[in-house]
Structure 1
Amino acid sequence: MAEPSLSAGSASLAHRRATWLSPETGETIAQHDLMRTMARKRVVLLGESHDIAEIHRWQLHVTAFLHALRPQMAVGFEMFPRRIQPVLDAWVEGEMDTATFLERSEWAQVWGFDPELYLPLFHFCRQQRVPMLALNCHRPLVTRVGQIGWDAIPVDERDGVTPAAAATEGYRRYLAGIMSGFAGPDRPRAMEPDRFDRFIRAQQTWDRAFACGIADYLARAEGEPLVIGIIGRGHLEYGHGTPYQLRDLGIDDLAVLLPTDRASHDQESLKGIGDAIFRLDTPEPPSPRRPSPKASS
């Protein structure tokens, strides 16, 4: 997901490697202070670009920090549809090896990115017996909602997902900006209104599915666990997407942390993007997505 670009006449914020930055104030945040604050939340969402190894290393480091402060924890993953939950439970309990886990979780069919990017996080959960949560829904549901809307989907075919709160105008503008960034010679810069509405409904189905998965776990869990969400940053930035849907479900005590490899930021565009941003080491080249027999989450 592209980050805000520098715009003419706006203030530029320098961002040193290995430091956290407040998007609101532009000031550096001490890591130990930030982690203590995050450990008191109900939900902490860690945004990602799926194919960048350095981002997944960062997610692991933050998860380990927070686990040391708040051992009662679960980690939710966008990568797994909820029907895979029994496989995640068995993995955490040590009932299968890595190859079997990847096969039974249908990794190649459902996700397709290099599993080596994610395996350190999966092994951390297994070693520490941290519950792993399958946050996604059945892929055909996303397609159907995009095509015909929620009202036309029978309740028993919604995969446990409730209808999404209506998209704000801010979210619509945000998604329009993303789509314009993907435009190319053979793709128009602006979608037709009906097609754009279908895209928003599909995107919101994912947003709501992740939020429902987190909310459902918190409702049934004993005690007061912290839930970490491993989710694409396009579902998290500027309070849209999953944070917005979580608040609609009554979960307000949440935070969004994001990575960056940029040495400077446009201060105005950065405001509201998340609670804190960490500057990574220079990432290695993106890992190519592996062809899958059939993508079907």
Structure 2
Amino acid sequence: MTPGPWTLPDSGETIAHPEMMARAAAAPVVLLGERHDQADHHRWQMHVAAGLLAHRADIVIGFEMFPARLNPVLGEWVAGRLTEEAFLAQAEWGTVWGFAPELYMPLFDFCRLHRIEMIGLNCRRALVSEVGAGGWEAIPEDAREGLTPALPATQRYRQYLFDVTGGARPDRKAKSASDPAFDRFVRAQQTWDRAFACRIADARARPNPPLVIGIIGRGHLEYRGGTPAQLEDLGIRDALVLLPQDNPAGDLPKGLGDAVFTMNTPSAAEPA
């Protein structure tokens, strides 16, 4: 597949970048997938955000990397009142996200340069563990962070999660996607899916709804089983899923995303 143009996996059609940006700018939500340790994925996300900004000024960018409680810190960063060192310290980067900040700083600088609002999409990690262990109903109302219960996972999504996490490995208790032993993992994953969707839906519920760009790991986006499904449950049915892809050997699988941008070279890994 030729690097550069966008491809629609369902049809195999290719689309030039200007046309893809015009289409995406008309959507209520654009979800940009990534592999967290791939530097060129984050550069790609920044370029897409810049393309959307050329069409619309009313943009909010939501990040999986930050819990929503840190929104005041993100606001201080965008306003130019924090140094990079102070921003990373106050945003608890080393605690809430374990990847090198250099991977993401170009995106954060982009938001600051253009005064684009940044919001956290995540919840506290303990909530994910607690829902995984005991289910949503075990969480007290005042500990739910304003989130609502996730739409139950489809069998297709369960199978996707099972496969991408190694399938029926010899060391794994769950031997199939339907195995009840896999329920805990699915509940935990869906807590993240729902948290991202709820934060995005909150931004879209403003009197003048902005275009919300989500910077999210692709495992929550592929085949629309994670955050896109939760957004649909919350009434947002036209979110676009855009993904970066290293040059594939064959055709892209149908349903992978709404559009895929083929990279020219293998992804750059996390900085040393």
Into which bin does the TM-score normalised by the smaller protein fall?
over 0.9
Structure 1 gap segments, 5+ residues each: 1-14, 290-297
Distance 1:71 1:223 in 2: 12
Q: Which amino acid aligns with 2:262?
A: R
Q: Which amino acid aligns with 2:127?
A: L
Distance 2:126 2:250 in 1: 38
Deviation at 1:18, TM superposition (A): 1.2
Distance 1:150 1:108 in 2: 28
Instruction: Map Cα deviations across residues 13-51 of structure 1 (whole Å, 9 max, x no partner).
Output: xx2111111101112112111110100000000000000
Distance 1:217 1:30 in 2: 29
Distance 1:238 1:259 in 2: 14
Instruction: Map Cα deviations across residues 231-273 of structure 1 (whole Å, 9 max, x no partner).
Output: 0000001111000000000011210000111243345xx1111
Structure 2 gap segments, 5+ residues each: none
What is the aligned residue count? 271
Q: Which runs of 4+ in 1 moved over 6 A?
A: none
Give yes or no for the alignment of 1:250 onto 2:230: no
Give yes or no for the alignment of 1:163 onto 2:149: yes
Q: Which amino acid aligns with 2:97?
A: W
- Picking from 221, 225, 230, the partner of 2:210 is 225
Q: Which amino acid aligns with 1:114?
A: A
Q: Secondary structure at the match of 1:76?
A: strand
Distance 1:258 1:109 in 2: 27
Over the residues paired in the alignment, what is the CA RMSD in angstroms? Answer: 1.8
Distance 2:255 2:205 in 1: 28
Q: What's the counterpart of residue 29 of structure 2?
A: 43
Q: How does 1:120-159 map to 2 (within 5 A)?
A: 120-159=106-145
Give yes or no for the alignment of 1:59 onto 2:45: yes
Q: What's the counterpart of residue 7 of structure 2?
A: 21
Distance 1:271 1:287 in 2: 29
Q: Which amino acid aligns with 2:221?
A: L
Instruction: Map Cα deviations across residues 110-149 of structure 1 (whole Å, 9 max, x no partner).
Output: 1010101100100111111100010000100000000000
Deviation at 1:75, TM superposition (A): 0.3
**Structure 1 residues 287 and 187, CA, compared in 2 at 3 Å: closer, same or farther?**
farther
Distance 2:18 2:113 in 1: 24
Deviation at 1:283, TM superposition (A): 3.3
Distance 2:231 2:60 in 1: 16
Q: Which amino acid aligns with 2:219?
A: G
Cα contact 2:150–2:191 (8 A) shared by 1: yes
Give yes or no for the alignment of 1:286 onto 2:230: no
Q: What TM-score results when the alignment is normalised by the length of structure 1?
A: 0.87
